[in-house]
Amino acid sequence: MTKKANPHLTALAAISMITVSATMAMAADTIKIGVLHSLSGTMAISETTLKDTVELLIDQQNAKGGLLGKQLEAVVVDPASDWPLFAEKARELLTVSKVDVIFGSWTSVSRKSALPVLEELNGLMFYPVQYEGEESSKNVFYTGAAPNQQAIPATDYFLEELGVEKFALLGTDYVYPRTTNKILEQYLKDKGIDASDIFVNYTPFGHSDWSKIVADVVALGADGKKVGVISTINGDANIGFYKELAAAGISADDIPVIAFSVGEEELSGLDTSNLVGHLAAWNYFQSAESPANAKFIKTWKARMGDKRVTNDPMEAHYIGFNMWVNAVTAAGTTDVDKVRTAMYGQKFPNLTGGTAEMLTNHHLSKPVLIGEIQADGQFDIISQTEPVNGDAWTDFLAESKVLKSDWKDLKCGMYNTETKSCVQIKSNY
């Protein structure tokens, strides 16, 4: 069927260099969904999976008959891990392709790059990754974890369940680890941990030479306190880190490591037999036992291959996408403001057996799960909390404590509860 003269090639030739907006308005019979995930460059490793997830969800929805009687259509662009391109592509999606919603971004900086454009053009984006908080934009729904849905419960677990007295906060040098560690440092000090018992280290993206840092962590044990590592190391740098940990023979019983950015996807890049017992905190693990999860994993593997795994940001897109579908159905339109209002209070069963709810601060309520790494690269869930409401502004930093986000009643994402005024309607980027 593809043998005859390729129609795509002729179409290709026909498209002029200048992307005239008029040409893009023709297909009005579909609802367009923008996918703004890097497919090349350093972040492709994580983000490609999310693009595939959105495509899967769209196909599933189309199989169910689409939305509002129309078919859904994905518009995939490649911002190539180049942060300014996120702004450019977001604008293109909103004004040229005229998408109704965007699913996208992974790093905070890419979100901050797209934010001004989304706010200017009143777009709508679902952001699926755990992040550092301190933000609530009218035009973004944060379906990943805020610090109080991941970092704080994980630290509590270290303090209470493992009796850790000395903390090594290791992170990649960028905003998520920096802000998270700042919150954690304050939190630990509030909990009575001395400043000298908190060791902080930042490494570049893709760092591979871990021997000295691992040795430094081991040396922390010299004053007889139990040491624990809280890792916000990003992406593939984790592989070198865990390999070095395993080589140094550090057992999870001696120095437990809890990671916020290591999921099934990252572990598929290494042999986990020496890492058994180390921890990760997420809102979802593939090993969660629920019928919805089993079904999701099955369709995912059927589509992508048997070796592929599912992870937390995928669940975030799963929840976000379905909530958006329900909100559009409820609003009867894809108009951003109406959908946004319909989103508040949307409930959808999450994949871990509970129900996620969209709050008026644009964050979800989700349970916090802590899992131990197993030899097969999966996590054994050893702790699961009740759903925790995502908090845009952390309660553990003095300057954020007074801030509150409520887009329903206060209509403000940065409301100062002390002066009872809205600091700014747009978000700070």
Partner 1 sequence: MKTAFKNSFIYKNPSVLIFLSALAILTIGMTILSEGFGVGLVSTSFIKILGKTLCFCLIAIAMDLVWGYCGILSLGHFAFFGLGGYMVGMWLMFARTKDIVINSMVNAPLPPTPNEIRDAVGSQIFGVVGGSEIPMIWMFADSLLIQLLLVILVPGLLAFVFGYLAFRSRVTGVYLSILTQAMTLALSLYLFQNDSGLRGNNGLSGLQNIPGLTEVSQDIISVWFLWASAIALGLGYIIANWLISGKFGSVVRAIRDDETRVRYLGYTVEIYKLLVFVITAIIAAIAGALYYPQAGIINPAEIAPIASIYLAVWVAIGGRGRIYGAVIGAASVTLISSWFTGGQIPNISLGFYTIKWIDWWLVILGFGFVAITLYAPSGLGGLFDRLVRKQVNEESK
Partner 2 sequence: MIRTFLFLVVYFVSVLSVSAQQNDLQSILNQNSKAVERASRKTLQPVLKSLIDSKLKEVPIFLEKWRAKKVWIRKSDKQFFYINNKNSTPIKLIDISSGEIVGLEPKNKLKQLKPNSGVRSIIASTLVQFQLIDIDKNRRLAALKAIERDANSSHLNALRATINKEPLPSIKARMLRLERLLTIRFDENPTKRIKAINGFAGDTNVDVRAALNPILQTKIAVSTILPEDKNIAKILKVGDSISTQVAYDILVKNKLAPAQISIQERDKSLIANIKNSEIAGIKTSTLDNEQSRIIAYQTLVKIGAVPDFVTNEQRAKSLKEFVFFNQYIETNKTVTTAAKKTLDTINARVKVFSFIDLGLDGLSLASIYFLAAIGLAITFGVMGVINMAHGEFIMIGAYTGYVVQQFVPNYTASIIIALPLAFIVAFAAGVALERLVIRHLMHRPLETLLATFGISIALQQLAKNIFGTQARPLTSPDWLGGSWVINDIISISYIRVAIFFLALAFLFLLLFILKRTRLGLEVRAVTQNPRMASSMGINPDKINMLTFGLGSGIAGIAGVAIGLFAQVTSELGSGYIVQSFMTVVVGGVGNIWGTLAGASMIGGLQKIIEWFNPSNTLAAQTYMIIFIIIFIQFKPKGIVALKGRAAGD
Tell me: does residue 25 bind partner 1 (CB under 8 A): no
- CB–CB of 103/320 below 8 Å? yes
Q: How far is the CB of 47 from partner 2 (least distance, A)?
A: 8
> What is the DSSP-derived secondary structure letter of residue 228?
E
Residue 24 binds which entry of partner 1, partner 2, none, CB below 5-8 Å type-dependent:
partner 1
Binding-site string for partner 2 from residue 257 to residue 296, where x marks contact by CB under 8 A and - marks none = --------xx-xxxx--x--x-------------------
Pick one of 92, 132, 197, 244: the residue that binds partner 2 (CB under 8 A). 244
Q: Would you say 235 and 261 are in contact if contact means Cβ atoms under 8 Å apart?
A: yes
Q: Contact with partner 1 (CB under 8 A): which of 45, 76, 304, 402? A: 76
Give me the helices (H) in 64-174, please: 83-91, 108-121, 151-156
Residue 249: partners with Cβ closer than 8 Å, 6 or more residues away: none
Residue from 101, 146, 148, 180 nearest 363 by CA: 146
Choose among partner 1, partner 2, none what residue 182 binds, the Cβ cut-off being 5 to 8 Å by kind: partner 1
329 contact, one of partner 1, partner 2, none, CB 5-8 Å limit per kind: none
Question: 101: which 2 tokens?
Answer: 């919603």
Bridge partners (DSSP) of residue 384 are 369
Q: Is 376 in the site for partner 2 (CB under 8 A)?
A: no
By CB under 8 A, the residues from 172 to 191 that bind partner 2 are: 173
Please tell me whether residue 278 binds partner 1 under the rule CB under 8 A. Answer: no
CB of 141 to partner 2, least distance (A): 26
Return the residues of window 120-179 that contact partner 1 according to CB under 8 A. 120, 132, 134-135, 173-175, 178-179
| Contact set for partner 1, span 183-222 (CB under 8 A) | 202, 204
Residue 81: name the closest of 54, 49, 48 by CA.
48
Residue type, 429: Y
Instruction: Read off the tokens for 45.
Output: 């490793």
CB of 235 to partner 2, least distance (A): 8
Nearest to 358 by CA among 346, 368, 340: 346
C-alpha angle 278/366/153, rounded to 5°? Answer: 45
Instruction: Count the alpha carbons within 13 Å of 92 in the hemisphere toward its beta carbon.
Output: 16
Smaller CB separation from partner 2, 275 or 392: 275
Q: Annotate 194-218 with b (16+ C-beta within 10 A) or e (fewer).
A: eeebbbbbbbeeebeebeebbeebb
8 CB-near residues (< 8 Å, 6+ apart):
none
- What does 77 interact with, of partner 1, partner 2, none (CB < 5 to 8 A by kind)? partner 1
Q: Half-sphere exposure (CA, 13 Å, Cβ side) for 382?
A: 17
> Considering the complex, what minimum distance in angstroms separates the CB of residue 112 from partner 1?
5
SS3 category, 162: coil
Please identify which residue in 116, 277, 349, 353 interacts with partner 1, judged by CB under 8 A. 116
CA–CA dist 334, 33 (Å, integer): 11
Q: Which residues pair with 380 in a beta bridge?
A: 372
What type of residue is 220?
Answer: L
Under the binding rule (CB under 8 A), the answer on residue 71 touching partner 1 is no
The amino acid at 285: F
Residues making contact with partner 1 (CB under 8 A) = 1-2, 6, 8-9, 11-12, 15, 17-22, 24, 39-40, 75-80, 82-85, 87-89, 91-92, 95-97, 108-109, 112-113, 115-117, 120, 132, 134-135, 173-175, 178-179, 181-182, 202, 204, 399-400, 416, 419, 421-424, 428-429
Residues making contact with partner 2 (CB under 8 A) = 39-40, 42, 44-45, 48-49, 157, 160-163, 173, 199-204, 206-209, 211-213, 215-216, 218-219, 221-225, 236-237, 239-240, 243-244, 246-249, 252-254, 256, 265-266, 268-271, 274, 277, 370, 372, 380-383
